[in-house]
Amino acid sequence: MEWQRSEKTLKPPKKGNVRKVIPSLFGQPEKAEIVVHEADDLFREVRIENKLEDAEGNKVKLKQNAEVDVTVEADEKDTTPTSA
Protein backbone atom coordinates (compact mmCIF):
# COMPACT_ATOMS: atom_id res chain seq x y z
CA MET A 1 0.00 0.00 0.00
CA GLU A 2 1.40 3.40 -0.91
CA TRP A 3 0.26 6.75 0.40
CA GLN A 4 0.72 10.24 -1.01
CA ARG A 5 2.97 12.28 1.26
CA SER A 6 3.43 16.02 1.49
CA GLU A 7 6.73 17.89 1.74
CA LYS A 8 6.12 18.29 5.49
CA THR A 9 6.69 14.60 6.20
CA LEU A 10 9.24 13.42 8.75
CA LYS A 11 11.78 11.42 6.77
CA PRO A 12 12.50 8.59 6.87
CA PRO A 13 9.31 7.07 8.32
CA LYS A 14 9.69 5.12 11.55
CA LYS A 15 9.32 1.35 11.32
CA GLY A 16 6.70 -0.54 13.26
CA ASN A 17 4.42 -3.51 13.13
CA VAL A 18 0.89 -4.41 14.13
CA ARG A 19 1.17 -6.23 17.47
CA LYS A 20 -2.51 -7.08 17.61
CA VAL A 21 -5.89 -6.34 16.14
CA ILE A 22 -8.41 -5.48 18.85
CA PRO A 23 -11.94 -6.54 17.87
CA SER A 24 -14.87 -4.17 17.99
CA LEU A 25 -16.42 -4.22 21.48
CA PHE A 26 -19.33 -2.35 23.03
CA GLY A 27 -19.88 -0.24 19.93
CA GLN A 28 -16.22 0.80 19.68
CA PRO A 29 -14.53 0.35 16.27
CA GLU A 30 -11.89 -2.33 15.64
CA LYS A 31 -8.39 -1.05 16.51
CA ALA A 32 -4.89 -1.92 15.35
CA GLU A 33 -2.17 -1.68 18.03
CA ILE A 34 1.06 -0.60 16.35
CA VAL A 35 4.47 -0.89 18.00
CA VAL A 36 6.88 1.85 16.88
CA HIS A 37 10.34 0.29 17.19
CA GLU A 38 12.30 3.55 17.58
CA ALA A 39 10.02 5.08 20.24
CA ASP A 40 10.79 5.27 23.97
CA ASP A 41 9.76 2.15 25.92
CA LEU A 42 6.79 3.73 27.70
CA PHE A 43 5.43 5.28 24.50
CA ARG A 44 6.03 2.51 21.99
CA GLU A 45 2.42 1.48 21.29
CA VAL A 46 -0.22 3.48 19.47
CA ARG A 47 -3.76 2.36 18.69
CA ILE A 48 -5.63 3.52 15.63
CA GLU A 49 -9.00 2.68 14.15
CA ASN A 50 -8.39 -0.22 11.77
CA LYS A 51 -10.20 1.41 8.85
CA LEU A 52 -7.97 2.47 5.94
CA GLU A 53 -8.08 2.96 2.18
CA ASP A 54 -5.58 1.73 -0.38
CA ALA A 55 -4.28 3.81 -3.32
CA GLU A 56 -7.38 2.97 -5.39
CA GLY A 57 -9.79 4.00 -2.61
CA ASN A 58 -10.75 0.44 -1.59
CA LYS A 59 -11.52 -0.08 2.09
CA VAL A 60 -8.84 -2.21 3.80
CA LYS A 61 -7.60 -3.00 7.30
CA LEU A 62 -4.27 -4.00 8.79
CA LYS A 63 -3.43 -7.62 9.62
CA GLN A 64 -1.72 -8.76 12.82
CA ASN A 65 2.09 -8.75 12.46
CA ALA A 66 1.95 -6.48 9.39
CA GLU A 67 5.04 -4.29 8.95
CA VAL A 68 4.11 -0.59 8.74
CA ASP A 69 5.79 2.78 8.30
CA VAL A 70 4.74 5.42 10.82
CA THR A 71 4.84 8.92 9.34
CA VAL A 72 4.49 12.23 11.20
CA GLU A 73 3.18 15.26 9.33
CA ALA A 74 2.69 18.83 10.53
CA ASP A 75 1.83 22.19 9.01
CA GLU A 76 4.84 24.45 8.71
CA LYS A 77 3.23 26.89 11.16
CA ASP A 78 3.36 24.16 13.82
CA THR A 79 7.11 23.52 13.55
CA THR A 80 10.26 25.37 14.56
CA PRO A 81 13.75 25.20 13.01
CA THR A 82 16.49 23.36 14.88
CA SER A 83 20.08 24.44 15.30
CA ALA A 84 21.48 21.04 14.35
The answer as to whether 10 is a domain residue is no
For residue 63, pLDDT beyond 70:
yes
The answer as to whether 25 is a domain residue is yes
Instruction: Give the Cα separation of 60 and 71 in Å (integer).
Output: 18
Q: What pLDDT does 27 receive?
A: 93
Range of the domain at 42: 17-71
The answer as to whether 50 is a domain residue is yes
The answer as to whether 6 is a domain residue is no
Three-class secondary structure of residue 76 per DSSP: helix
Query: How many Cα atoms within 13 Å fall on the side-chain side of residue 73?
Result: 9
How many domains does the structure of the chain reveal?
1
The answer as to whether 83 is a domain residue is no
Phi then psi dihedrals of residue 52, to 5 deg: -125, 175
The answer as to whether 81 is a domain residue is no
Q: What is the pLDDT of residues 4-49, one digit of tens each?
A: 555 555 568 899 999 999 999 999 999 999 999 999 999 999 999 9
The answer as to whether 40 is a domain residue is yes
The answer as to whether 59 is a domain residue is yes
Q: What pLDDT does 6 receive?
A: 54
